[in-house]
Amino acid sequence: MERLSTVLDAKGVDYRQLNDMVRACLAQGERHIVLRHVRGQRYLGAGLTAGDLLLEVEGVPGEDLAFCMGGPTIIVHGHGQNAIANTMDSGTVAVHGMGGDALAYGMRGGRLFIRDSVGYRVGIHMKEYRELKPGVVVGGTAGDFLGEYMAGGTMVILNRYNEQESVCGQADKTLATGIHAGEIYIFNYDVPGFLPGIGARLLPPDKADTERVRSLVEEYCHYFGFDPTPLLTREMVKIIPAGSRPFHKFYCSAYPVHAGLS
């Protein structure tokens, strides 16, 4: 028998209470929860671990949506704010709209799909571990400091409207600064040479890359009802670490020695 979904009206409800309501529904075995009239309530989905939970958010959720979440799927019918998927471990977040700043901070696994553009500082410290490999697809463009200190996972800037400026930031050496693992793909944009920061380098993608990006983009398109084919036929570039030790030569050990003229 098909389960009916539970609808909670979030209008005027404090975020703590709303999160408690969600947890209470979960405890009662509900696995499809719809939140109506969400107006900036924070921490929705934070720390939730039910892999079979589908949480639908109607309205605009507050910051730290899916903070440290492990498993559920969250679909936002509206725009998102800052810090979505902060330290997320697994699960999926799909936002039918735009995303704010500092998304996917320290995200270690799962998927984050933003239909349109996102703000600054997206994907900082994204990392991976064994089977946990985070994937982020941004439909539009991203701001500065994309993928700073990135340590794993895959980020795709789809540039659906084929913008020709500020697709992945515009300030000097702010793109993927300090990246030491992971990869970023930018569609249909000639990334200016001054953008990549220390430790980042630009390369054309190879076949395996293309396949990996294809599967991520198809998943993205599935959530928003787009046709992936025209999106995928466009050119893309890859940004990966120049080495796994970006600061290797930066330090030496201060032994208690007189180094003489060695």
Residue ranges in contact with another protein by CB under 8 A: 15-17, 19, 42-43, 46-49, 63-64, 67-70, 82-83, 86-87, 89, 102, 105-106, 108, 121, 124-125, 127-130, 132, 145, 148-149, 151-152, 178, 180-181, 244-262
Between residues 16 and 201, which has the closer beta carbon with respect to another protein? Answer: 16
Give least dist CB 245 to another protein, A. Answer: 6
Give least dist CB 143 to another protein, A. Answer: 12
Give least dist CB 176 to another protein, A. Answer: 13
Give least dist CB 260 to another protein, A. Answer: 2
Find how far residue 167's CA is from the centre of its chain. 16
Between residues 31 and 214, which has the closer beta carbon with respect to another protein? Answer: 31
Find how far residue 21's CA is from the centre of its chain. 27
Rounded to whole angstroms, how far apart are CA atoms 67 and 43? 6
Residue 192: CB atoms within 10 A of its CB come to 15
Rounded to whole angstroms, how far apart are CA atoms 172 and 184? 17
* CA pseudo-torsion sign 74, 67, 181, 110: negative
Half-sphere exposure (CA, 13 Å, Cβ side) for 212?
A: 19
* CB burial readout 40-72, b (16+ within 10 A) else e: ebbbbbbebebeebbbbbbbbbbbbbbbbbbbb
Give least dist CB 119 to another protein, A. Answer: 12
Give least dist CB 87 to another protein, A. Answer: 5
Between residues 94 and 102, which has the closer beta carbon with respect to another protein? Answer: 102
Give least dist CB 125 to another protein, A. Answer: 6
Half-sphere exposure (CA, 13 Å, Cβ side) for 16?
A: 0
Give least dist CB 53 to another protein, A. Answer: 13
Rounded to whole angstroms, how far apart are CA atoms 98 and 255? 52
Between residues 12 and 193, which has the closer beta carbon with respect to another protein? Answer: 12
Between residues 105 and 187, which has the closer beta carbon with respect to another protein? Answer: 105
Contact 44, 69 (CB under 8 A): no
Between residues 58 and 64, which has the closer beta carbon with respect to another protein? Answer: 64
Residues whose CB is less than 8 angstroms from the CB of residue 91 and which lie 6 or more positions away in sequence, other chains included: 45, 51, 66, 69, 70, 71, 72, 73, 74, 110, 111
Between residues 6 and 49, which has the closer beta carbon with respect to another protein? Answer: 49
